[in-house]
Structure formats: structure tokens, C-alpha cells
Amino acid sequence: MRREKSQSLLARAERVIPGGVNSPVRAFRAVGGTPPFIVRGEGARMWDADGNCYLDYIGSWGPLLLGHAHPEVLSAVEEALRGGTSFGLPTEREIELAEMIVEAVPSIEMVRLVNSGTEATMSALRLARAWTGRELVVKFEGCYHGHVDSLLVKAGSGVATLGIPDTAGVPAAFADTTIALPYNSTAAVEQTFARYGDRIAAVIVEPVAGNMGCVPPAPGFLEALRELTQRHGALLIFDEVMTGFRLAYGGAQQIFGIRPDLTTLGKVIGGGLPIGAYGGRAEIMRRIAPAGPVYQAGTLSGNPVAVAAGLAMLRYLKQHPELYAQLEERTARLAAAAPPGIAVNRAGSMITFFFTPGPVTDYESARRSDTARFARFHAWLLERGICFPPSQFEAAFVSAAHSEEDIARTADAIREFFAAEAAG
């Protein structure tokens, strides 16, 4: 594939933007080559500056559950735009989105809209510390909750992809309030609560991890977190920025039947525009200013245009519940393309091909993957017009726009890669 235009755009970008990108994972550092500079997307496809077309499995890292430029999202945004872009005063549309979230996610009785998943998790942590009067937070190695200072400890996503030392720029005092444990290790959580129980404000967890690659919870793990936090007076925070409205209309918590105290959301609820949200039990949420003493604010929080996109997304998903089974079935078809010796983890429309025999149940086992081999896999697909996330430690996303033919073409390309490898 020709890449001259993207190469010159990257050189130009690197003169004025660190690494030439506005988010590290986009830089293709882990897989090599030049990241394609995208000019437009439609459905399951996107086109780069050199005119190359790709089947897109990045999906903007999760928001595009319906694919690019979905007509109902576009028309909702166009209609909102005609009325202006932001007011700095409340609008009815924000109430409508909040009401849909509250109706969809039983553990959320009240919700605050913000501008990103990072803002959502940062705010949820502040609220948990205020509610409990405690300081320590438990997270899990390989989970990523945005670039919140105290959560950039043994984080996943771009931190794992680039192998960045955990706390560059984060004072030890912040990192020291975070306890990072192995994902799926109930014993480690029990020991930690036995030792620090009355100092732990919250446990924050991706109920299905996506940021070390896709790693589902072991049976009983989430239930143990719920029981231990309840017993020790800590809050359980489900970070559903990636899984919310993707794995089910009610998120991972609907699938596992667990009610966290707080939930963070993002991505899908903004339809591809900047958004985040945190919500939970009303008695806890009422501590948030101006109702209570915990300050959190944002110039563009609940932005009318982003909220319009999110409303269109959620209304469509609510009207088409059959989508979730379709996404599950098509993603399973992709998983079946991998040969023995490749650990494939998936949950709903999230999937990761780990280049290790596995099983991959936590960050340590994920890191046993052969990332150089993954890079060859990624390049093989890219050359055939199929764009997977450029990192072994990310989840690929199937959208409702990926047709049966798209899935079959991708599965064939995956099989061809392994056949070519075997043929040497």
C-alpha cells in the first residue's frame, strides 16, 4: 500500500505535536510503520490520505459500536449544531441522556456528564474518597482508567504498549495511594483488605478488561470484589468506559448481575464525540457540587452536540436489542480463525488475539505474548486493508456495520497469515 501522504503528514505533525499524535496509541510505535492519516470513515470502513481503504477494527477505541458516520447519529448532530454548539447553561437534552443512562444501568440512580473517561474515573475516585473519608485505592495491573495521576500505576493501554515507566511525572505521594494487584486474583484482594481494609476508599476495576488486551473476569472474581468492598465499607467502582452499552445495553454489570456503587462510562454514550459520565447510588452522587461538597466541573460537560450524538446512539441501541447477539456471533466467527497456540480472548464485540499459548487471565500472562509476532500479524492485515488496533495490549472492536462478508474476509486474512507463517 502507498503511504507517502501519511508519511509526509506524520513528519509535519511531529514538528508541532508530540510524536505526531494526540494520543500515544495512535502512533503505531508498537507495530512499526507509519500510522495512516484518516480522511473519512463510513460504516465499517475508513480511508487514509493515500486513498487506501481499511476495514476498521479500532472503532475509535470503542465509541463506534454502530460504525462510522451512522446516519441517525449524523442527523442528530446536524440538528443540534443548527441550534448552536454550547451554552454554559443546562439543556433538556442532557436530562434525556441522563434519564436513558439511569434507566439502562440499574446501579446508576444519578449521573454526572463530563468530557472523557479520564474525567469520569478521576471524579469517581474523588467522590469515593470523600464518601468514605479514606485515601487508598485498589486497581488492577493492566487495567487502564485514563491518565489520572494516581491511576497511572501498572496501567494498561498505551502505558503497556509503550512500556512507559509507571509514574513519570506522577509524585510518589500520589502513586503511594494506589495499590495495584493482579487481575483475577481474589486471594490478593482478600490479603490487601485484611491488611488495609479500613483505609481503602475504593476498588476500581474494568469488569471485562480491555486495556491489556481483552481479559474477562474469572468466575467469582467480580462477586468477591462486591462482597469484600461491602464488608470493609469501601466502594466498588466499575469502569465501564469501554464495556458500557457495548457488551449489553446495561453494560457488563447487567451480564454479571453485579451492582457496583459507582460506574464510569464514556465512548459509546457519546457516539464518537467527547463525553464521559460517572454515576451510582443517589445518596453518594448527592455529595457532588452544587448538591454537596465534592467539587467537579467542566466548561463543555454535557455539551449539547456530544449529548445529541449519544442520545441517537442509545436510542438506536434500545430499539435494536438484537444487535448484541449479532455482534457476539460475528466476533465468535473471527475468534474461530485462530490456530492452536494463539490465545483468543473475547467478550461480546471485544476480541484480542494473544500471541502466546495462554491462557491469558491477567497482565503477567498477557505480557508473555510475542509482540514482534503480533506486529507482523498487524502489518499483514493492514496490507490487506484490515486495520486492527496497533498493539497487542488492546482489544479489537467489531461494530454493527461489519457485514457477514467483512467478517469472512477478515477471518480468511487471519487464516492466511498463520498459513503463511507455517509455510515459513
Binding to ligand KE4 (CB under 6 A) within 55-74 occurs at 61
Contact flag: residue 210 with ligand KE4 (CB under 6 A): yes
242 binds ligand KE4 (CB under 6 A): yes
Out of 132, 211, 253, 365, point to the residue binding ligand KE4 (CB under 6 A). 211
Indicate the pairing of strand 343-347 with strand 262-266: unpaired
Task: Please tell me whether residue 278 binds ligand KE4 under the rule CB under 6 A.
Answer: no
Number of residues that bind ligand KE4 (CB under 6 A): 21
**In this chain, which of 56, 94, 239, 362 binds ligand KE4, going by CB under 6 A?**
239
CB of 25 to ligand KE4, least distance (A): 5
Per the CB < 8 A criterion, the answer to whether 179 and 196 are in contact is: yes
Place of cell 508519511: 7
User: Residue 144 interacts with ligand KE4 (CB under 6 A)?
Assistant: yes
Hey, what long-range contacts does 29-34 have (CB within 8 A, 24 or more apart)?
A: 29/161, 29/162, 30/161, 30/162, 30/371, 30/375, 30/390, 30/391, 30/392, 31/374, 31/375, 31/378, 31/379, 31/390, 31/391, 32/375, 32/379, 33/3, 33/379, 33/382, 34/3, 34/6, 34/7, 34/10
- CB nearest ligand KE4: which residue? 117
Among 145, 246, 330, 378, binds ligand KE4 (CB under 6 A): 145
Closer to ligand KE4 by Cβ: residue 61 or 354: 61
The residue ranges of DSSP E strands in 182-322, in sequence order, are 200-205, 235-239, 262-266, 276-280
- Mark residues 374-413: x for contact with ligand KE4 by CB under 6 A, - for none: --------------------x-------------------
62 versus 304: smaller Cβ distance to ligand KE4: 62
Contact at 8 Å (CB) between 386 and 410? Answer: yes
| Residues with catalytic function | 144, 239, 267
The smaller minimum CB distance to ligand KE4, of residues 242 and 382, is found at: 242
**Residue written as grid cell 454502530:** 66
> Is residue 148 close enough to count as binding ligand KE4 by CB under 6 A?
no
Shortest CB 211 distance to ligand KE4, Å = 5
**Nearer to ligand KE4 by C-beta: 278 or 355?**
278
State the Cα–Cα distance between residues 364 and 342, nearest whole angstrom: 16
Rounded Cα gap, residues 299 and 313, in angstroms: 23
By CB under 6 A, which span of 1-9, 90-98, 139-147, 398-406 interacts with ligand KE4? 139-147
Of the candidate residues 212, 241, 288, 314, the single one contacting ligand KE4 (CB under 6 A): 241
Contact 175, 168 (CB under 8 A): no
The identity of residue 24, as a single letter, is P
117 binds ligand KE4 (CB under 6 A): yes
Q: x/- site string to ligand KE4, residues 178 to 207, per CB under 6 A?
A: ----------------------------x-
User: Taking the CB of residue 162, how many other CB atoms lie within 10 A of it?
Assistant: 15
| Alpha carbon 201 to its chain's center | 23
In this chain, which stretch among 8-16, 236-244, 247-255, 369-377 interacts with ligand KE4, using CB under 6 A? 236-244
Nearest distance in Å: CB 239, ligand KE4 = 5
> Which H or E run includes 110?
strand 110-114
Amino acid symbol at 83: G
The set of cell numbers assigned to 84 is 448552536
- The residue from 34, 91, 121, 303 that contacts ligand KE4 (CB under 6 A) is 121
Closer CB to ligand KE4, residue 239 or residue 362?
239
Binding region for ligand KE4 (CB under 6 A) out of 1-9, 239-247, 340-348, 361-369: 239-247
Q: Which residue's CB is nearer to ligand KE4, number 26 or number 330?
A: 26
Please, what is the angle between helix 71-82 and helix 304-319, to 10°?
150
- Environment class of 165 (CB within 10 Å of its CB; exposed 0-12, middle 13-18, buried 19+): exposed
Q: Which is nearer to ligand KE4, 273 or 401 (CB)?
A: 273
Residue 49 to residues 7, 35, 46, 289, 404, Cα–Cα distance (Å): 10, 11, 10, 45, 27
Residues that bind ligand KE4 (CB under 6 A): 23, 25, 61, 116-118, 121, 144-146, 157-158, 206, 210-211, 239, 241-242, 266, 276, 394
